[in-house]
Copies of this chain bind each other. A is one copy, B any other.
Amino acid sequence: MGVSSDALFLVPCTVPGETDDIPGIGQYDDFHTIDWQRDIARDRMHHRHIVKKRQDSVCDLIKGAHDAWSGWVCVLLVGLFTGAVAGVIDIGASWMADLKFGICPQAFWLNREQCCWSSNETTFDDGNCSQWWTWSEVLGQSREGVGPYIISYLFYIVWALVFAALAAALVRMFAPYACGSGIPEIKTILSGFIIRGYLGKWTLIIKSVGIMLAVSSGLSLGKEGPMVHIACCIGNILSYLFPKYGRNEAKKREILSAAAAAGVSVAFGAPIGGVLFSLEEVSYYFPLKTLWRSFFCALVAAFILRSINPFGNEHSVLFYVQYNNPWIFFELVPFVGLGIMGGVIATVFIKANLQWCRYRKTSRLGQYPVTEVLGVAVITAVVAYPNPYTRMNTSQLIYLLFSHDYNRNFTDVNSAIEIAAAGPGVYRAVWLLVLALGFKLVATIFTFGFKAPCGLFIPSLCLGAILGRIVGIGMEQLAYNYPHVWVFSGECSAGVNCITPGLYAMVGAAAVLGGVTRMTVSLVVIMFELTGGVRYIVPLMAAAMASKWVGDALGRQGIYDAHIELNGYPFLDSKDEHNGSLSVLTQDSMTVDDVETVLKETEHNGYPVVVSRESQYLVGFVLRRDLNLALGNARRTLEGICGQSLVVFTGGATAQQGGPPPLKLKKILDMAPITITDQTPMETVVDMFRKLGLRQTLVTHNGRLLGVITKKDLLRHIKQMENEDPNSVLFN
């Protein structure tokens, strides 16, 4: 097009954000949606201002450099603190979890593994060494036998109860936001919503302590989701050190995205997976330039955690595996089968969990959160102890299920050559695993969503790993007993095992986790980083795809979206439904009193400004909050402003003859609101809201204002399209 309109923009134009002189402008109320475009425009104005001033003095130059580097410094700090906090949590949780079984009398602050390091014994009995005393030994009993078993059982239950009670009580007393996994809320916050205190310092402290306690209590939960929440708290708190991020909600979310990546990174030792998780799952606005910064943040956090080395092993990955056999092509069939089973289990879990959460909300159960946690903890502990698979730490169980050699010694302890023939030990193990699978599924349904910190990744992985190991053992026996069936021939020779049950466990874990969270690329990458299994991407992918498709077919949503919907985040003026005439302001014909009446009578977040009520030609948009602040400010500081003063949004001074001086509010008027025409297809509108992060858009027809569409309207409309109740949307 030849008609260049460049000239329109070469003069720096007025942006509402420039008006930092009125205090509070540019911030938002609690439970409100932020306006991304406005915040980003404010940041740009700020940046332009700094670049311009940089030539003025050395001080300004330093300020400019500080501003330019603050993003990197901030994510560096976030990475450092996240890694350190994660290290503390890992060490504390491992110590407290071992406290359920016994104590190190020489140095009580050591966990079982550390306590046994000084031991020279080469064979451990169940991981116990003579330095480590079980509670029955502490009470003067022997280690084995019926009496010691009962003592251990009781101690296990009591400790579980104490830890769970502490976790629930701390959450209830100091930081109610510290409960749950936090990922649904963080998704909501990153999509541009304000929840004050959700990422505050109290939440950080209580969630850190609470997750240690909750994990140690042996409940069916993991610390991975809460770790993301903790990292985001750190990101939020540290962002206040840098005004560029702390004072701008849109920019702050860049830091929060990086922090979420760091959270996953420390939870699994998977920095690449963390960045992809942040990109795919939680982030809403993710400019590619922050990709690099998020990766840096995730890597720093992982590096710090590795330096602290809480697990005390050489590998930086959580469940390091090394298999000797490659997988054979035919195995894709059972892998896809595992994916399908994983999808089904995940759907059952999601539906049952939602049902229970809904019951909790509507019944009297919701009024006794601590009691509920205690009840779940007692039942979990009582049922878990007798089964060795559920008695141990969940992540330890996953490690054993993934590993190549576990269960082998059930068949033939003394044989150096692995043989795959099933002995009675294998049959016993399979039975115990089936019981463990059922128990974990039921326990997790009742656990996820109660009022203590609880993550879902580890239980999901565990369910899948048990399922996969069972299928793997079955396949192994099949290949061992029928090595000449065509599908195995060529790969398996008689008597030698060619099937790796540990790989099945890994694939099954990916399948269930994928079904529950509906993650895709990030899931495969996390599993790959978690286990270091470069060669097994194809099986992981096959299972993840099958599981996602089955999950999508059986139930529309992943657990996080379902919980976002369930919680109907958060309640605010849903009564605001008077579908009457459009509330608008005119550019130069309303008095202060008129404007205040409009503000009093309506509760909208903002008002379009038009040329006149008759013509309705759109001039701009002004926010309720800014208007309130500006009016209050004017009444306090400007002389001669009274109820009869004209409110003028235009530039020219239209002084009234005789009357009071007009109140000029052009500086709070956003003269560049995003507008659409009434013919815009709904999908394009949704697209614009999503991509530009809008809070509202104005609808025009041939230049005249027709109406306003807000994010809430849009969400309602989407609900209606999906045949759901539009009134369940309570966002604003």
Contacts and interface: CB of A to CB of B under 8 A. Distances in A.
A217 interface: no
Contact of A677 (B15, B534, B673, B691): B673
Contacts of A317: 534
Contacts of A5: 678, 699, 706-709, 713
B682 A717 contact: no
A44 B582 CA distance: 31
Interface string A105-131: 000000000000000000000000000
A4 B716 contact: yes
A541 B37 CA distance: 32
A379 interface: no
A704 B706 contact: no
Contact of A579 (B2, B288, B673, B700): B2
B678 A8 contact: yes
A316 interface: yes
Given A681-B15, A692-B692, A713-B6, A520 B703 contact: no
Nearest to A619: B702
Interface in A432-462: none
Interface stretch (A295-303, A350-358, A415-423, A640-648): A295-303
Nearest to A269: B534
B675 A677 contact: yes
A685 B672 CA distance: 10
Given A2-B576, A521-B291, A703-B703, A13 B619 contact: no
Given A1-B710, A604-B2, A524 B295 contact: yes
Contacts of A691: 691-692
Contacts of A716: 4, 6
Nearest to A37: B684
Interface in A652-692: 671-685, 687-688, 691-692
Interface in A280-299: 280, 288, 291-292, 295-296, 299
B14 A541 contact: no
Contacts of A678: 5, 8
A44 B611 contact: no
Interface residues of A, number: 96
A731 to B, nearest CB: 12
Given A672-B679, A681-B672, A713-B6, A525 B272 contact: yes
Nearest to A6: B717
A422 B126 CA distance: 50
A9 B675 contact: no
Nearest to A285: B691
A671 B703 CA distance: 12
A710 B1 CA distance: 6
A580 to B, nearest CB: 7
A532 interface: yes
A210 B619 CA distance: 60
A484 interface: no
B692 A582 contact: no
B713 A617 contact: no
Contacts of A365: none
A9 B681 contact: yes
Nearest to A670: B679
A529 B37 CA distance: 38
Nearest to A523: B292
A602 B703 contact: no
Contact of A534 (B316, B606, B673): B316
Given A272-B525, A684-B37, A703 B620 contact: no
A708 B521 CA distance: 41
Given A534-B317, A716-B4, A703 B288 contact: no
A579 B672 contact: no
Interface in A616-646: 617-620
A275 interface: yes
A676 B681 contact: no
A41 interface: yes
A40 interface: yes
Nearest to A542: B299
Interface string A1-27: 111111011000111000000000000
Contacts of A524: 295
A370 interface: no
Interface in A559-593: 576-583
A220 interface: no
A53 interface: no
A219 to B, nearest CB: 32
Nearest to A283: B288
Contact of A41 (B541, B579, B684): B684
A537 interface: yes
A535 interface: yes
Nearest to A281: B288
Contacts of A579: 2-4
A677 B681 contact: no
A298 to B, nearest CB: 10
Contacts of A696: 1
A545 interface: yes
Interface in A39-58: 40-41, 44-45
A494 interface: no
B677 A672 contact: yes
A271 interface: yes
Contacts of A620: 677, 679
A703 B706 contact: no
Q: Select the residue from A8, A40, A541, A707 with max chain B CB neighbours within 10 A.
A: A8
Interface in A498-552: 520-521, 524-525, 528-529, 532, 534-535, 537-538, 541, 545
Contact of A617 (B532, B611, B703): B703
11 contacts: A1-B696, A2-B604, A3-B582, A4-B707, A4-B709, A4-B713, A13-B680, A618-B703, A620-B679, A672-B677, A700-B703
Q: Identify the 4 closest CB pairs spanning chains A and B, nearest first.
A: A703-B703, A671-B679, A5-B707, A672-B680
Interface of A: 1-6, 8-9, 13-15, 37, 40-41, 44-45, 271-272, 275, 279-280, 288, 291-292, 295-296, 299, 303, 316-317, 520-521, 524-525, 528-529, 532, 534-535, 537-538, 541, 545, 576-583, 602-606, 611, 617-620, 671-685, 687-688, 691-692, 696, 699-700, 702-704, 706-710, 712-713, 716-717, 720
Given A9-B717, A295-B541, 13 more contacts: A2-B583, A5-B713, A40-B687, A41-B683, A45-B681, A272-B521, A280-B288, A291-B520, A292-B520, A296-B541, A299-B537, A617-B703, A675-B676
